[in-house]
Amino acid sequence: MPYTLLGTTHPAIAMLEIDSVAAGISTADAMVKRAPIAVLKAGTVHPGHYLILVAGSVAAVEEAHEAGLDRAGSWLLDQVLLPDVHPQVTAATLGGRQSLSAEALAVVECRSVPSLLRAADAAIKATGISIARIRLADDLGGRAFLLLDGLLADVEAACEIGRDLIPLQFLLQTTVIPRLDTTLKSLLNEGTRFAACPHFQPEGAEIDASR
């Protein structure tokens, strides 16, 4: 089923990442004027890029995507068009998250938000993984990463898909952790930002109580 937002179904999404705020705003304007789409999000991200995320029917999103490519021109850094997007991809892109609960964790990290979404969509369609979290650009110096939860064979396959679909100039790292420590799993379920990370001291931790 397509992801539902505010009672409206969105079977397709497109995202453009642009290396200019001025060009980004102009591009978003051109996309909205070309086709009846929903602008799910648009704005600045680190390091001075502009992200545009639109959704709607396949035909409308394709039209808007074409208009965006034309207007962005040489300012375009990366783009993705997902005409049959998996609902977990859209939900996670808009800030939704799921708790890690399976036996293995995969982390896919890159320098491009659109490329990360392309890899996430392909991975979840081809394997039995779940998208636990997507972090995009801000507070990451423009980087993006996703956490994938599932059986070991599935998360290994998901990492392979990421390596195949993310261009080399954008790919940073993929990693698989077969049996994630339960303490770390609890911390990741709380969030991935250091500043917001709760203090947790497991029973049996060796500390100097005299200080």
Mean pLDDT of 43-52: 96
For 35-62, what is the mean pLDDT? 96
Give the CA-trace dihedral at 87, 9, 17, 94, to 10 degrees. -60
What is the architecture, at CATH level 2, of domain 88-189? Answer: 2-Layer Sandwich (3.30)
Pairing outcome for strands 12-18 and 49-56: antiparallel
Chain centroid offset of residue 144 CA: 7
CATH 3.30.70.1710, the chain: domain bounds: 3-85, 88-189
pLDDT recorded at residue 118 = 97
| Strand residue runs (E) in 19-99 | 38-45, 49-56, 76-82
- Give residues with Cβ within 8 angstroms of 39, minimum separation 6: 28, 31, 32, 52, 53, 54
pTM of this structure: 0.89
pLDDT in tens, 69-91: 999 999 999 999 999 999 999 99
Topology given in CATH for the domain delimited by 3-85? Alpha-Beta Plaits (3.30.70)
Q: What is the tens place of the pLDDT at every residue in 151-193?
A: 999 999 999 999 999 999 999 999 999 999 988 998 899 889 8
Most confident of 17-21, 95-99, 203-207: 17-21
pLDDT tens string 111-127? 999 999 999 999 999 99
Q: What is the pLDDT of residue 6?
A: 41
What does the alpha-carbon distance between residue 174 and residue 110 come to, in Å, rounded to a whole number? Answer: 9
- Amino acid at the residue 82: L
